[in-house]
Structure 1
Amino acid sequence: MNKRIKSAKYLSNFESIFKCPVCNSSMKVFQLKSLICLNNHTFDFAKQGYINLTVHPVKTKYGKDLFEARRKLIIEYGFFKPLSQAIAETISKHTVNKETISLIDMGCGEGSHLSQISDIVNSEYSKIVTGVGIDLSKEGVSVAAKNYFDKIWAVADLANTPFADKQFDVILNILSPSNYTEFNRLLKAEGLVIKIVPQSGYLKELREVIFDEPEKQSYSNADIVKRFNENIQLVDRSSLCYTVELDNPGIQTLIQMTPLSWATAEEQFKTLLKADSTKVTVDLEILIAKKE
């Protein structure tokens, strides 16, 4: 059975969560090839196992190399492992009475966050997780579908998601833009939004190399937090700060992964790229909201 058929079979167990992104009608899996709505709008499964539910083709700045580098950093170097653990613990704490959880990662990239968090929630907290990952980047979703089978992966617009109302217990939004109208629409009663934003020390070792101005060497998330508070009911927030030691290939992978390096000449990274190893700071804030 190839990936396209496997994914179509898996998704057919959850087809009721979808709505057509064109006309909002309900959808069904058709002949293990497509997702089709009542008005015959048809979206085919890709051979990698994801489904593209965008209405217009979108080109993003994020390429396949960036997503492969991000996956390597997460899986091989455990770059976000403490974060995955903290998120899984938060999910468990706020869903004590639930044995099954529907979890969507809005802006899933190459899927490693969703995969790791789902695994921890399942293995350490004995909850059955239905995981859905969406991103506007076809390249990211393709990498996700290639590496993680037991999830639903879709290319989709975060401002017009292809899901019916009130389908998810938890929305993850990790270092990614938010659409609070959609968050509120998609959440079940008492559903959770877990949003991760950088704090001032996030990747400071890279920022100090890239930026000469002290104000750009640190980062403020004040505007993001303010907007979160204005749009959704904040119930808790916490900080998470740790360092990860990277060897030389790890340093190169980090530089390849981060958009911070896009407008930077390689010359600026010369010293860092020659280092045998370096410690990198991961400084994040976890914002938790609950739907009333």
Structure 2
Amino acid sequence: MGLTKKQRAANYFAQHRALLQCPICHEAMMVEENGTVRCEENHSFDMAKQGYVNMMTHPATSMYDKSLFEARKEVIDSELYRAVYNVILAELDGDVAILDTGCGEGSHLAKLKESYASSMVASGIDIAKEGIVQAAKNYADMMWVVGDLAKSPYAENAFDVILNFLSPANYEEFKRILKPNGKVIKIVPQAGYLRELRALFFADSEKESYSNDKTVARFSENFDDVRVQRVTTTLPIRSELVPLLAHMTPMGWHQEQQIEAGMLTEITIDVDVLIGQ
């Protein structure tokens, strides 16, 4: 009989426990046979049966629910972001430890890991528990954590690469947990990102256009060596994915207009990949 999800995850956490620190006292962590993650000061965090650990030190709310993460997985599985992954993969070299911050249901990280030729130790963190539950259910042999980088569960100099995919950044924490000569790779929307969907929601309004200038400038302030690579591609989109795409993006949350299958036939992915060292 094979290992349960929890047993398999406990083994992975134990193997890579050096990546972790106690979010309360910052001491090193040990992983017990049952998956409980415990520090020398006896602060402990239990592993859920799905194979993730909740290391939040305070209650948190998220606008992201189960249906949003299910929609997000369907859209990401359709390979809309493949051109972005290819740019990220070209930045990786040899065996790497990578952290996806704001990973949601983990689909971007899983796509990168399955496409990477060398060994990848992968962890994903999000304050949205529902996303991490789905990540652990769908993707084994990764370290899935419910947590907040403001109370970080990761050790200093732990990661070769920190991925920040269309998500808010915590640069102070990124630099603490990044190895010397490591990279932060941040993906931010460019003016044409999802422009077909934006046109449906915001036709003839200021919101139909978008600028990431402030985000790029803030990234550049935090790193000595910064490169920017733009990725722009327009792809056909299956009709049944159109309402899912609308559901997974914040621009659709407060719209009365119903986006239905077939309302779009193509969609544009237009992002800047920011690489900082």
Partner of residue 87, structure 2 = 86
Cα displacement (A) at 1:86:
1.6
Cα displacement (A) at 1:274:
5.3
Query: Quick check: 1:168 aligned with 2:159?
Result: yes
Code of the residue aligned with 1:275 in structure 2: it is G
Query: Quick check: 1:137 aligned with 2:128?
Result: yes
- The one of 21, 28, 31 equivalent to 2:30 is 28
**CA contact under 8 A between 2:232 and 2:270: conserved in structure 1?**
yes
Code of the residue aligned with 2:57 in structure 1: it is V
- The one of 117, 120, 142 equivalent to 2:115 is 120
Cα displacement (A) at 1:247:
2.4
Query: Quick check: 1:156 aligned with 2:156?
Result: no
Partner of residue 208, structure 1 = 199
Distance 2:185 2:249 in 1: 22
Query: Quick check: 1:285 aligned with 2:272?
Result: yes
Distance 2:100 2:191 in 1: 24
Distance 2:263 2:227 in 1: 40
SS of 2:16 mapped into structure 1: helix
Partner of residue 275, structure 1 = 262
Distance 2:211 2:275 in 1: 18
**CA contact under 8 A between 1:88 and 1:118: conserved in structure 2?**
no
- The one of 2, 5, 10 equivalent to 1:3 is 5
Q: Which runs of 5+ in 1 are unaligned?
A: none
Query: Quick check: 1:256 aligned with 2:247?
Result: yes
SS of 1:266 mapped into structure 2: coil
Cα displacement (A) at 1:245:
1.2
Distance 2:261 2:179 in 1: 50
Runs of 4+ in structure 1 over 6 Å off: none
Q: Per-residue displacement from partner, 1:4-41 (whole Å, max 9, x unpaired)?
A: 12111111001122110011111101232310111111
Code of the residue aligned with 1:285 in structure 2: it is D
SS of 2:87 mapped into structure 1: helix
**CA contact under 8 A between 1:180 and 1:232: conserved in structure 2?**
no
Code of the residue aligned with 1:193 in structure 2: it is V
**CA contact under 8 A between 1:70 and 1:254: conserved in structure 2?**
yes
Cα displacement (A) at 1:259:
1.4
Distance 1:240 1:172 in 2: 16
Distance 1:225 1:49 in 2: 35
User: Please, what is the CA RMSD of the aligned residues?
Assistant: 1.4
Partner of residue 54, structure 2 = 52
Distance 2:225 2:134 in 1: 33
Partner of residue 212, structure 2 = 221
Cα displacement (A) at 1:193:
0.6
Partner of residue 186, structure 2 = 195
Distance 1:43 1:80 in 2: 34
Higher share in helix? 1
TM-score, normalised via structure 2 length = 0.95
Cα displacement (A) at 1:45:
0.3
SS of 1:159 mapped into structure 2: helix
Distance 1:173 1:54 in 2: 19
